[in-house]
A and B are shown apart, each in its own frame.
Chain A
Amino acid sequence: MAGKTLYDKLWDAHLVEQRDDGSALIYIDRHVVHEVTSPQAFEGLRLAGRKPWRVDSVIATPDHNVPTTSAERASGVEGIEDRVSRIQVQTLDDNCDEFGIVEFKINDRRQGIVHVVGPETGACLPGMTVVCGDSHTSTNGALGALAHGIGTSEVEHVLATQCLVAKKMKNLLIKVDGQLGEGVTPKDVVLHICGVIGTAGGTGFAIEFGGQVFRDMSMEGRLTVCNMAIEAGARAGMVAVDETTLSYVQGRTYAPVGAEWDAAVANWADLHTDTDAVFDKVVEINGTDIKPQVSWGTSPEMVLPVDALVPNPDEESDPVKREGITRALEYMGLTAGQKITDIYVDRVFVGSCTNSRIEDLRAAADVVKGKQVAASVKQALIVPGSGEVKIQAEEEGLDKIFIEAGLEWREPGCSMCLAMNADKLGDGEHCASTSNRNFEGRQGYGGRTHLVSPAMAAAAAIAGHFVDVREL
Chain B
Amino acid sequence: MKSFTRLTGLAAPMDRANVDTDLIIPKQFLKSIKRSGFGPNLFDELRYLDEGQPDQDNSGRPLNEEFPLNFFRYKGAQILLTRENFGCGSSREHAPWALDDYGFRAVIAPSFADIFFNNSFKNGLLPIVLSDEIVDQLFAEMYASEGYELSVDLESQAVMTPSGQVFKFEIDEFRKQCLLNGFDDIGLTLQNTDAIKTYEARRRQETPWLFDVVK
- Bound pair: A and B? yes
Q: Is the CB of B16 within 8 A of A439?
A: no
Judge whether A70 is part of the interface by a CB distance below 8 angstroms. no
Q: Which residues of chain A in 73-91 are interfacial with respect to chain B, using CB atoms and an 8 Å cutoff?
A: 82, 84-85, 87-88, 91
Chain B residues positioned under 8 Å from A199 (CB to CB) = 18, 85, 88
Partner of A165, one of B26, B35, B174: B174
A445 contacts B189, CB within 8 Å? no
Determine if A269 is an interface residue (Cβ-Cβ < 8 Å).
no
Interchain CB contact under 8 A, B28 and A163: no
Give which listed residue, B35, B188, B192, B207, contacts A16 with CB less than 8 A: B192
Task: Give chain A nearest CB distance to B201 CB in angstroms.
Answer: 12
User: Measured between alpha carbons, how far is A234 from B113 in the docked complex, in Å?
Assistant: 9
Complex Cα gap A156–B122 (Å):
11
Interface stretch of the complex, out of A147-155, A381-389, A405-413, A450-458: A147-155
Query: Which of B31, B172, B174, B189 is packed against the most chain A CB atoms within 10 Å?
Result: B31
Residues of A close to B54: CB separation below 8 A: 84
Query: Among the interface residues B23, B32, B111, B196, which one has the most CB atoms of the partner chain A within 10 A?
Result: B196
Counting residue pairs across A and B whose Cβ atoms lie within 8 Å, the total is 209
A296 CB, min distance to chain B CBs, angstroms:
15
Central interface residue in A59, A156, A165, A420, by most chain B CB within 10 Å: A165
Residue in A59, A85, A235 whose beta carbon sits within 8 Å of that of B214 in the complex: A59
Flag if A150 contacts B33 (CB, 8 Å).
no
**Are A441 and B174 in touch, CB under 8 angstroms?**
no
Residue of A nearest to B1 (CB): A153
Q: Could you say which of A39, A58, A151, A256 contacts B212, with CB atoms under 8 Å apart? A: A256
Q: Measured between C-beta atoms, what is the minimum distance from A272 to chain B in Å?
A: 17
For residues 1 through 58 of chain A, which have their beta carbon under 8 Å from a beta carbon of chain B? Answer: 16-17, 19, 21-23, 25, 27, 29, 36-37, 39-40, 43, 48, 50, 53-54, 56-58
Which chain B residue shows the least CB distance to A84?
A: B31
Residues from chain B with Cβ under 8 Å of A137 in the complex: 91
**Residue in B17, B35, B51, B172 whose CB lies within 8 Å of A40:** B35
B17 and A25 contacting across the interface, CB-CB below 8 Å: no
Which chain B residues border A260 with CB–CB below 8 Å? Answer: 208-209, 212
Q: Are A204 and B114 in contact (CB under 8 A)?
A: yes
Asked whether, in the complex, the Cβ of B88 is within 8 Å of the Cβ of A327, the reply is no
Q: How far is the CA of A150 from the CA of B55 in the complex (A)?
A: 26
Residues from chain A with Cβ under 8 Å of B111 in the complex:
200, 203
Binding site for B on A (CB under 8 A): 16-17, 19, 21-23, 25, 27, 29, 36-37, 39-40, 43, 48, 50, 53-54, 56-59, 64-65, 82, 84-85, 87-88, 91, 102, 123, 125, 127-128, 133-135, 137, 149-154, 156-157, 160-163, 165, 167, 199-200, 203-204, 230, 233-235, 254, 256, 260-261, 263-264, 267, 299, 320-321, 323-324, 327, 418-420, 427, 437, 439-442, 445-446
A-B contact pairs, 20 of them (CB 8 A): A21-B177, A36-B31, A37-B93, A40-B34, A50-B186, A127-B210, A134-B90, A134-B91, A150-B91, A151-B91, A152-B93, A160-B186, A233-B85, A256-B212, A299-B20, A321-B17, A324-B18, A420-B30, A420-B31, A439-B89
Contacts A43-B35, A153-B119 aside, 20 further interface pairs with beta carbons under 8 A come to A21-B172, A21-B173, A36-B30, A37-B91, A56-B211, A58-B214, A84-B31, A87-B33, A88-B31, A133-B93, A151-B115, A156-B186, A161-B189, A200-B18, A256-B212, A261-B209, A437-B20, A439-B89, A440-B22, A441-B27
